[in-house]
Each structure stands twice: as C-alpha cells, then as structure tokens.
C-alpha cells in the first residue's frame, strides 16, 4: 500500500519565501511522527516532498526534493498513492485549495471535507456558528467594525491565521487605535482578552463518530505584546476529559464535514470553556499522543479509513507528555 504525505512547510510550500525555524521545528515533529508510526505498523512505501533547504527525513522514505513551486507535481503524486495525508495552514485558502486537490485525485484522503475546511478557515465565521449553537466563544468582530467591550484588553489576529502566529495583545484604547491604522483591517479580527487556562483538545472524527484523543495544556508566553506558543503538555488536563468530550459532541455536529484528526484550542475561564480556534488538520499535539496513550494512533486512524469503522480509543492509561519548541 502506497502512502503520500504532503506537509506544507517542510514539503516545499514556502519556496521563494523565508523559512521560519520555529515553524520548521513543529512541522518536522508532525512529519516524523506520522512516518515513524506508519513504518511501525508495517507501511514502508511512503513518499513525501521536501523543501531543498530542509534536512532529509531519512532513508526509510522516498523524498521528492522541491526547488520550484510544488503544485505541478502534486496531482500525479496523489494519484499514484493509495492513501494520502495532508498537513497545511489555513492561511490564504492554502488548506482549502490543497484539500480540493487531494479530494479530486486521492483514492483515500485522510482529512476533513471542503465545507469544514472552508468554515473553520475563518475565525469570525467559526465563532458565529458556535455562538448560534450556544457554544461559548469570544465576542469576535472584524477589526474595522465595532470593538467588543473588554476590561482586560483585546487580542488582534488574522481571521485565517494559524495558532498564535501574528497574535497581538492590546491593553488599552490608545494602543488599539494605533494597531487599527497599521493592520490590514479587512483580514484582522478582534476579541476580548480572556484570562484563564490555555488548553486544547485533540479529536478523531469519522462518520460523525468522535473519539477524544487528548486534553492538552498550552504553554503561552506574552512578550512585547506578542503571544507565542512555547510548549504543549499532551494529556496534562485529563481532569477535564468529561467536559471536553461533551463539548466536542456539541461542536462536531455544528460544522458538518469533519473527518480525521481535529485540533480545538480552548481557554477555561470562570469554569467555562471558550472555543478559540478549530483546526481540521494535524496539529503539533499529534506528536505526543501515541506516547501518551501507549498505542499507535496513526495505525488506529488508518485502520478506521480502511475498514470504514471508527476504532475504539480510550484515555484510561494516558500519561502526560511534554512537547517543547
């Protein structure tokens, strides 16, 4: 069985642009995890693309080194494979366009459909849908529109941004006015800053069935008004697993089309869980889930898509695993 894995950062998606060391580090963690776990369950025929500036992933995988724009070679690589895996950012419709390409050409594509990808690419649209479903989420507006009330400051970030990238904390109205003049207002949103515990949950979804994989602590730093993610404690927040599972069972039906791995960012404040972002793709937390659960989660996911029946996964033996960037 032939596998093709395309990861945008290390796989040639940024040819002609600067490669961020932090993004490459997180991307490599996800790619190496998938490669290791596929090989561990007997799948050796794996092809990837690799930006020529990125170190090789090893001899156990077939690498297509990329020096020029990648889109011309992707359809053929997808068509030649039996199973296709995709990791890409939502920014500038990247994940949506690549999902479209994969769904048109892949025999089996392990990922969400175009509706779920399109909806969650916009934080504003996602928050509006969740709010209409009575799911807690920050009061979210376009930066150019009415500013939501807040006693603790605001967060400004791109509507289609990835994680904490380009997230700015603004403490008062004066600084807010300054930021409104320098940002591309059409693509930036603003939310009240919420004091609380930063966390995420990792889900596996198939045919509307949901398995909770991990309840993660996010290590967030604020420096020079910029927010960054410096580490993840995979399954460090197991005490909230029942509440997270219940929340997941509300979120998934609200946005049709989720399939495969889903990452959801949360803040817990005043005993409420606020949904901050939904990622219908692999996130960095994936790198620690198998070690935490003591099983090969990639094998479970693969078998689900091959047998068309979700595999049972539980958190009874889960242990915390630290990921540092």
pLDDT at 167: 86
Summarised one tens digit per residue, pLDDT across range 297-314 is 999 999 999 999 999 999
Summarised one tens digit per residue, pLDDT across range 57-83 is 998 999 999 887 788 899 999 999 999
Q: Where are the alpha helices (DSSP H) in 47-170?
A: 74-79, 94-105, 114-121, 123-132
pLDDT at 270: 95
pLDDT at 72: 85
CA dist 308 and 146 (Å) reads 46
CA dist 95 and 161 (Å) reads 12
How many CB atoms neighbour CB 270 within 10 A? 8
Q: How far is CA 252 from CA 256, 266, 310, in A?
A: 7, 15, 15
Summarised one tens digit per residue, pLDDT across range 30-56 is 999 999 999 999 999 999 999 999 999
Kindly list the structural domains of the chain, giving each domain's residue range(s) and its CATH number in brackets, ordered by start.
Answer: 3-110 (3.40.50.11770), 138-192 (no CATH), 196-324 (3.30.470.20)
CA dist 286 and 85 (Å) reads 14
Residue 277 above 90 pLDDT? yes
Mean pLDDT of 137-143: 94
Q: How far is CA 29 from CA 34, 35, 151, 282, in A?
A: 9, 10, 38, 11
pLDDT at 35: 98
pLDDT at 182: 60
Q: How far is CA 101 from CA 30, 35, 84, 214, in A?
A: 21, 22, 11, 30
How many CB atoms neighbour CB 56 within 10 A? 9
Summarised one tens digit per residue, pLDDT across range 240-276 is 999 999 999 999 999 999 999 999 999 999 999 999 9
Nearest to 267 by CA among 159, 203, 192: 192
Mean pLDDT of 232-236: 98
Phi, then psi, of 25 in degrees rounded to 5: -60, -50
Summarised one tens digit per residue, pLDDT across range 166-185 is 788 998 887 777 766 666 56
How many CB atoms neighbour CB 144 within 10 A? 15
Instruction: Tell me the two tokens of residue 64.
Output: 């297509």
CA dist 62 and 73 (Å) reads 15
CA dist 86 and 27 (Å) reads 12
Length of the chain equals 325
How many CB atoms neighbour CB 73 within 10 A? 14
pLDDT at 177: 75
- Among 12-21, 182-191, 265-274, the least confident range: 182-191
pLDDT at 95: 97
pLDDT at 180: 67
CA dist 148 and 139 (Å) reads 7
Contact criterion met (CB below 8 Å) for 24 and 54: yes
Q: How far apart are the first and last CA of the chain?
A: 33
Instruction: Tell me the two tokens of residue 289.
Output: 């889930």
Mean pLDDT of 153-158: 92
């Amino acid at each position: 069985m032939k596998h093709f894995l395309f990861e945008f950062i290390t796989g040639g998606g940024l040819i002609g642009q600067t490669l961020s060391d932090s993004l490459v580090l997180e991307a490599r963690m996800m790619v190496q995890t998938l490669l290791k776990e596929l090989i561990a369950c007997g799948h050796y025929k794996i092809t990837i693309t690799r930006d020529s500036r990125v170190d090789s992933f090893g001899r156990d995988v077939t690498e297509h080194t990329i020096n020029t724009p990648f889109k011309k070679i992707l359809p053929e690589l997808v068509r030649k494979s039996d199973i296709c895996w995709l990791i890409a950012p939502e920014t500038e419709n990247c994940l949506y366009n690549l999902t479209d390409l994969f769904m048109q050409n892949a025999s089996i594509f392990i990922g969400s459909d175009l509706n779920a990808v399109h909806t969650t690419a916009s934080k504003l649209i996602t928050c509006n849908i969740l709010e209409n479903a009575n799911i807690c989420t920050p009061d979210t507006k376009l930066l150019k529109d009415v500013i939501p009330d807040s006693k603790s400051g605001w967060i400004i970030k791109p509507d289609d941004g990835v994680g904490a990238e380009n997230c700015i904390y603004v403490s008062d109205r004066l600084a807010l006015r300054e930021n409104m003049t320098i940002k591309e207002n059409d693509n930036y949103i603003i939310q009240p800053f919420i004091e609380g515990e930063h966390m995420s949950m990792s889900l596996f979804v198939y045919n509307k069935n949901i398995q909770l994989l991990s309840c993660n602590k996010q290590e967030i730093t604020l420096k020079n008004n910029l927010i960054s993610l410096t580490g993840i404690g995979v399954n460090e927040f197991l005490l909230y697993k029942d509440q997270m599972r219940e929340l997941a069972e509300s979120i998934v039906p609200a946005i049709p089309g989720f399939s495969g791995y889903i990452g959801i960012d949360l803040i817990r404040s005043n005993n409420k869980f606020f949904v901050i972002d939904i990622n219908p793709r692999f996130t960095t937390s994936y790198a620690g889930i198998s070690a935490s659960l003591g099983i090969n989660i990639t094998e479970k996911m693969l078998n689900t898509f091959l047998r068309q029946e979700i595999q049972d996964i539980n958190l009874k033996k889960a242990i915390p695993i630290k990921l540092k960037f």
